[in-house]
Structure 1
Amino acid sequence: MDEVQVVVSHSQRATLRVGDVFLKVDGDPAHAAVEVRAMALAPVPTPRVLWHEPPVLAIAAVRGQALGVLGAPSPASSAAWAAAGAAIRRLHDAPLPPWPGPRLDDLAAELDRECAWLLAHAVLPAEVVRRNRELAETALRPWAPAFVHGDLQITHVFVDGDEVTGVIDWSEAAPGDAMFDLATLTLGHEERLDDLLAGYGPGADRAVIRAWWSLRSLVASRWLIEHGFDPDAPGCELDVLRARMREP
């Protein structure tokens, strides 16, 4: 009998693996509903949905390995990163999903709240928060909406050799800023941005991608801390914010 492996667990959701089946249990049934719809629409490899009985979604494992993990160098080849870029471009060029995405005003308000929390709890020196808040402003501009994954962490893109075999965890998919996906995938792996963009093609804005590195790290840190994760681990969000201080 296959053992049950806890992939991730916190107060909002848990993911279990049993053999080649992943069971995702979510307190908000809307997340799984979006995930199922998004995977059906996305023009990139996605896991096969086995069954969906709220609050549980069962999906099949995808072949290959993740591009990497946050906090460690990616073992994937330059060609694999380029293939990921080409897959993301297909997604961004696809017709928009028929549900709303994030609003610019809401993102700006969230950034204000999270920066205030980081300062109030002395998570980082005030100058680090201030500088990254300034850098993040570049991302807060109107964008032409694209079909975005919305949570395109490096652990969510699987490759086998130089081939993308699956993109997982679609519960945040929506119309949104294409540069956000590119920034999320390269967060903490900035040295792989050239490889990614070689496959993605024209139209990427490096300044906006860099701004999203700051913005995402600022707004994610409190959630990570409150849910038992460590954004201060080497190479993770707080390191990303500190690294911005070394840039001109």
Structure 2
Amino acid sequence: METWSDDRVREAVAARLPHHRAGSITRLGEGEDNVAFELDGELIVRFSKDPDPESRAARIDAEARLLHAVARISPVPVPEPLFADPGLGCLGYRRLPGTPLLGLPVPDPSAARLGTTVGELLAALHAGRMVSLVELDVQPGAAWLEEAAETYAAVAGQVPAAYRPRIEAFLAAPPPHDGYEPVFSHNDLGIEHVLVDPATLAVTGVIDWSDAALCDPAYDFGLLYRDLGPVALDSALRAYGEADGIRERAVFHARCSVLEDLAYGVAAYVDKSVAAFAWLFPG
């Protein structure tokens, strides 16, 4: 099994940033694809867990090129690589200020401002020409609904009884029409990936672009609606310039994805999922 020691992190930084002397090293976390470290509170170094050297190198190179391209068009800060080492399978960038929005209380006025910022970001991304940098990630609404039904069967016991008939009615109804043109988007724009100033809730950055793809333009709006509710969605669509079908498909994606978040099982995700049932499945 691959291991990532402090010495390996220092080796990676020394190879690419010889003038940087790493002091404290904190392991930030590990997902299915990557493990991340913070150096001295200012530098993030992320290693790919892909065991195949060629595939790992290709992933690191592709992500570095994508982040540089996104930084040129995004109206909010994004991680921009200071170095990429395909051989070591790692990427380094300066830590963006702020804290993830997940778990912070968001009153309606702040939700409206956050929605406006996200709408402006999505307008810029969806107009971006990124066809050569990302893959297509689309599936018909019927497939989303089938996956949601399977997830619901696994988590129904965690759903408050009042919402179960409403969710079951949603799962039994036909999905929205699939007629849309895929666009470049973050493709995982939940509030865990939105950094904010905790005092003002102003957006300070958007992180984790590993799922970026050509996808349904409504998908990231759906995650915003799932996490922050109708006030945020309304503001986002006003800033974006509401297009045909986006609101309906955003609501659809929000309802499907909230079940996935509930199944994830982490307390912060479970709490926000249960809270969101009030606007996603109203009586």
TM over 0.5: yes
Highest RCO, 1 vs 2 (Cα 8 Å, sep ≥ 6): 1
Partner of 2:136: 101
Partner of 1:46: 78
What pairs up with 1:108-147 in 2 under 5 angstroms?
108-109=142-143, 111-120=145-154, 122-124=156-158, 127=165, 129-134=167-172, 137-138=175-176, 141-147=178-184
Alpha-carbon offset, residue 86 of structure 1? 1.2
3-state SS of the aligned residue for 1:166?
strand
What pairs up with 1:96-245 in 2 under 5 angstroms?
96-98=130-132, 99-105=134-140, 108-109=142-143, 111-120=145-154, 122-124=156-158, 127=165, 129-134=167-172, 137-138=175-176, 141-158=178-195, 165-190=204-229, 191-203=231-243, 205-222=246-263, 224-225=264-265, 229-230=266-267, 233-236=270-273, 238-241=274-277, 243-245=279-281
Alpha-carbon offset, residue 135 of structure 1? 6.5
Cα-to-partner distance string for 1:172-191 (whole Å, 9 max, x where unaligned): 11111111112223322113
Cα-to-partner distance string for 1:49-79 (whole Å, 9 max, x where unaligned): 022234322121124455x225732694744
Q: Are residues 1:86 and 2:86 paired? A: no
Alpha-carbon offset, residue 195 of structure 1? 2.6
Amino acid at match of 2:205: G
Q: How many residues align?
A: 239
Alpha-carbon spacing, 1:13–1:129, altered in 2? closer, same or farther (3 Å): farther
Alpha-carbon spacing, 1:199–1:5, altered in 2? closer, same or farther (3 Å): farther
Structure 2, unmatched stretches of 5+, are 1-21, 51-55
Identity of aligned residues (%): 21
Partner of 1:4: 25
- The CA RMSD measured in Å over matched residues stands at 3.3
Alpha-carbon spacing, 1:179–1:103, altered in 2? closer, same or farther (3 Å): closer
Structure 1, unmatched stretches of 5+, are none
CA distance in 2, matches of 1:79, 1:72: 14
Q: Are residues 1:72 and 2:105 paired? A: yes
Alpha-carbon offset, residue 165 of structure 1? 4.5
Alpha-carbon spacing, 1:87–1:244, altered in 2? closer, same or farther (3 Å): closer
Alpha-carbon offset, residue 33 of structure 1? 4.5
Partner of 1:24: 46
Tell whether the 8 Å contact from 1:35 to 1:172 is kept in structure 2 after alignment: no
Alpha-carbon spacing, 1:202–1:11, altered in 2? closer, same or farther (3 Å): closer
3-state SS of the aligned residue for 1:72?
coil
Tell whether the 8 Å contact from 1:136 to 1:214 is kept in structure 2 after alignment: no
Tell whether the 8 Å contact from 2:262 to 2:270 is kept in structure 1 after alignment: no
Cα-to-partner distance string for 1:107-141 (whole Å, 9 max, x where unaligned): 74464245224315644466354234246822x61
Amino acid at match of 1:60: R
Structure with larger Rg: 2
3-state SS of the aligned residue for 1:210?
helix
3-state SS of the aligned residue for 1:235?
helix
Alpha-carbon spacing, 1:80–1:12, altered in 2? closer, same or farther (3 Å): closer
Q: Are residues 1:55 and 2:89 paired? A: yes
CA distance in 2, matches of 1:85, 1:37: 24
Partner of 1:15: 36
Alpha-carbon spacing, 1:149–1:33, altered in 2? closer, same or farther (3 Å): farther
3-state SS of the aligned residue for 1:198?
helix
Partner of 1:35: 63
Tell whether the 8 Å contact from 2:68 to 2:80 is kept in structure 1 after alignment: no
Q: TM-score, normalised by structure 1?
A: 0.77
Alpha-carbon offset, residue 8 of structure 1? 3.2
CA distance in 2, matches of 1:186, 1:16: 31
Alpha-carbon offset, residue 21 of structure 1? 1.0
3-state SS of the aligned residue for 2:271?
coil
3-state SS of the aligned residue for 2:136?
coil
